[in-house]
Amino acid sequence: MARKQDLSQLGLLLICVIIGLLGYHKVRAQNNVLLETINFLQRGQSDVELENFDNNIVLESEYDFIVVGAGTAGCALAARLSENPKWKVLLLEAGGPERLIMDVPIVAHFLQLGEMNWKYRTQPSDHACLAMNNNRCNWPRGKVMGGSSVLNYMMYTRANRRDYDNWAALGNPGWSYKEVLPYFKKYEGSSVPDADEDYVGRNGPVKVSYVNWRSDIAKAFVKAAQQDGLKYRDYNGRIQNGVAFLHTTTRNSTRWSSNRAYLYPIKGKRPNLHIKKNALVTRVLIDPQTKTAYGVMVQADGSMRKILARREVVVSAGAINTPQLLMLSGVGPAKHLREIGIKPIADLAVGYNLQDHTAPAVTFTTNATSLKFEDFADPNLVTRFNRQEGPYGSPGGCEAIAFWDLDHQDQEDGWPDIELFLVGGSMSSNPAISRAFGLKKSIYNALFAEIEDKSLNAFMIFPMILRPKSRGRIMLKSSDPFKYPLIYSNYFAHPYDVDISVRGLLKAISLTEQRGFKGINAKLWERRIPTCKQHPYKSWAYWACYVRHFTFTIYHYSGTAKMGPASDRSAVVDARLRVHGIRNLRVADASIMPEIIAGHPNGPVFMIAEKAADMIKQDHGFIQ
């Protein structure tokens, strides 16, 4: 344990030196220093005692189960399926090992820029992503052991019980909230002291906790939301509407990825589980006559090879990679596949129903101390982190969260349509933030450069729409598996999404009228977007233009392999996550969500994986 702490401390000291340089010089002129920080993160020390599962392992030609993708769902599935010692399980991951420094929550912004990210981008749009380079939003996805649970901001939410009841009502038996609640409780290892005991799980592998450190800005946000009418409560308990300091997938200021939660504890204890990193699956092998999946083609160690599956192939590659892989394998819209030169095996609506949460961040100045990343060069803070204290445990600066049902504000137990979450810094606090979002330099200079130049304290509130009505699509660019797919986000295609985004933005601004925010002199940063000057400032039309510019994804892509009955022509998998019309092929990740949930999906994806593992065990006669 001492060795691991020493490595973490060394990594933090190096990060502090780099960030200190960023603070000493103007960060906009320090791209080389920023790149050095990113490079350090991706080549940083991995814990060889835990990460090198594939060392000295000779891949076999056949396994009982092949799990594609070692992300949030894939790590959990591989761990659960390998509980049966008679089954041989292979987990394949296109990325490399998780590094120790990636476990430090505060560096989450930097992770968006390294090679542990697939670095997807949406297709250009004339009605969204207007503040981003070439009108294209960056869409990060984890390419690393643990997947996006290594890149995300560790914000833990279950969403609303109505989300799951709605899934069941859409023709998916077994997915009501009452039926999925035991799976949430199974994986949760929560230490949140004021959690609703009837709903929380205390002994599961995924650690959930409050962050020890809280800024005055976060405290003011919580007070202001309460003064606006919300109650402080466990938003993962019986009622979601409310405000709280953030529940995070961390423990002792350490990120708790799916890799750490499920695979670290079984290192060296499961000879029936093989894990191969840097292995890209290019196709699922499907017999076109029997329509049965029987293996995969995988690029690893410089060569392409075939690996067979005796029982099933389970695709857990995420809402972008999963539809891409299915279509490359002949499962998808027949017309589109033929246009690409792929012979269809199953004509299914793969890639449709793409959904995401967006949030147009609003910036405020304050007399309270905000997070400025050059401050992390203070050696005292490093010492405090090593005592599990200080802002290093803050997940990218995200500190507090609140849920409103704006359409039914008189209902305490509503189905929220907007979430506000607080980040204790601004776009100019850290050069990685605007870079990760891909902001145009002209937009950054017009709105945020002055905050940096004057060294002002500032923070952001992100009003995230929870139940968007717009739907996008993933399409193949070519039949080459190494070419990225085309991503059509279709943000704001439905007018409701613009309307609720503006209403959420105005709710965020209105909180400055509450005593909590007045106590820290919180004021809207009133700098106008040059390309919205045709609209009167602060008019509804101006804010609608603002929303279409700052279309910040919150990385919640879902729905592209929709779960539903065979009678639903838009469905790809059934309620047991089996691909319609194909035997021995399942999908288990966020792509199966029929409708996106009213919260952050990382927790629900753990639930999907746990439930999928049980269904697979049941279907193959393994009763524990």
Task: Give the residue numbers annotated as catalytic, written as ranges.
Answer: 556, 600
Q: Token pair for residue 81?
A: 């399926």
Q: What angle do CA 376, 377, 379 make, to 5 degrees?
A: 100
DSSP 57: P
Amino acid occupying residue 66: I
DSSP SS3 for 541: helix
How far, in Å, CA of 525 to CA of 414, rounded? 31
Q: How many residues does the chain have?
A: 624
Pairing state of beta strands 473-475 and 486-488? antiparallel
Contact call for residues 112 and 399 (beta carbons, < 8 A): no
- CA-only gyration radius of the chain, Å: 23
Q: Is 144 annotated as a binding residue?
A: yes
Contact call for residues 230 and 243 (beta carbons, < 8 A): yes
How many Cβ atoms sit within 10 Å of the Cβ of residue 584? 22
- Secondary structure of the chain: what % helix, strand, coil (to 5)? 35, 20, 45
Q: Please, what sign has the CA dihedral across residues 283, 296, 319, 103? A: negative
DSSP SS3 for 131: coil
The answer for residues whose C-beta is within 8 angstroms of residue 151's C-beta and 6 or more apart is 108, 111, 112, 116, 117, 140, 141, 142, 144, 555
How far, in Å, CA of 310 to CA of 148, rounded? 29
- Tokens 């919580």 map to which residue? 222
Burial grade of 494 (CB within 10 A; 0-12, 13-18, 19 or more): middle
DSSP SS3 for 400: strand
Contact call for residues 30 and 22 (beta carbons, < 8 A): yes
Contact call for residues 155 and 398 (beta carbons, < 8 A): yes
The answer for residues whose C-beta is within 8 angstroms of residue 516's C-beta and 6 or more apart is 219, 220, 221, 222, 223, 224, 225, 226, 227
- HEC sequence for 280-344: EEEEEEEECCCCEEEEEEEEECCEEEEEEEEEEEEECCHHHHHHHHHHHCCEECHHHHHHHCCCC
Contact call for residues 220 and 516 (beta carbons, < 8 A): yes
- The closest of 189, 186, 201 to 256, measured between CA atoms, is 189
Q: What are phi and psi of 389, to 5 degrees?
A: -130, 175
The answer for residues whose C-beta is within 8 angstroms of residue 573's C-beta and 6 or more apart is 561, 562, 563, 564, 579, 580, 586, 587, 592
Q: Extract the annotated binding site.
A: 144, 281
Give the residue numbers of the binding site for FAD: 144, 281
